[in-house]
Amino acid sequence: MNVGTLIFLFILIPITFFGLIFSFFANLIDRTGDRFNKIAIWWSRLNIKLFGIVVDIYGRDNYNPDNNYLVVSNHAGMADIPILIGILNLNIRLIAKEDVGKIPLFGRVIKKAGFIMIKRGQNREALNSLLAATEVLKSGRSVHIFPEGTRSATGELLPFKRGAFIVAKKGLTPVLPVTIIGTHLITPKNSFKINKGKVKVIIDKPIEPSDLKNAEELMDITYKTIENSLNRYRYN
């Protein structure tokens, strides 16, 4: 346990609890989840400040926050989520594992706000729950997914699963590749420590699904884009 963990336990958890209660009633007033999205952005930026995370952003001019995208990024730490929500400033919904939706109050709030719960595995039921994201994209809102499916303990890029790219093809929405460097040191996997540190976020130009033959080709190009940014900026 370190200072970051203490901040999480005694400052962030109480703030989050009252924020969830407020969000519960906000969702009753605004069933689109747009009001909750603004609360989530505020909460995410608070996380970044509380834990002393410095974020260097590259490629901010590569996208328009007023547009919608399927945001695809690598996943190396729990800090990825507030960093992405806080800096991208998109009207965004996340894809989360079904178990997250079962957390009391929290799960109810995020589901009402339009977050998509996905079942584990690669079966048809899992794919159908993932395809619900296409309706969110068609409504003009962005969706974020970690195509690796799990966190990388070392920060190295893991293989992608193609489900996210099927969603992009069906939703006819540009894929926004985002590379995150350094969060595996902020919130290490299998550890309760939360450390200060610097994180780099690289936003590459959107990739148009309509320009590509199929989901596999879209997946390969997105993977190479994130891999190239990871290699280019890791030691710069």
> Domain-by-domain residue ranges, the chain?
3-233
In this prediction, residue 190 carries a pLDDT of: 80
Give the chain's residues under pLDDT 70: 120-123, 125
pLDDT of residue 146: 94
Q: DSSP per residue over the chain, as a string?
A: --HHHHHIIIIIHHHHHHHHHHHHHHHHH-TTSHHHHHHHHHHHHHHHHHTTEEEEEE-GGGS-TTS--EEEE---STTHHHHHHHHH---EEEEEEGGGGGSTTHHHHHHHTTPEEE-SSSSHHHHHHHHTHHHHHHTT-EEEE-TTSS--SSSPPPPPPTHHHHHHHHHT--EEEEEEESHHHHS-TT------EEEEEEEPPPB-GGGSSSHHHHHHHHHHHHHHHHHHHTT-
pLDDT digits (tens, 9 = 90+) for 59-86: 999 999 999 999 999 998 999 999 999 9
Tens of pLDDT, residues 210-225:
888 899 999 999 999 9
> Which architecture does CATH list for 3-233?
3-Layer(aba) Sandwich (3.40)
Q: What is the pLDDT of residue 211?
A: 86
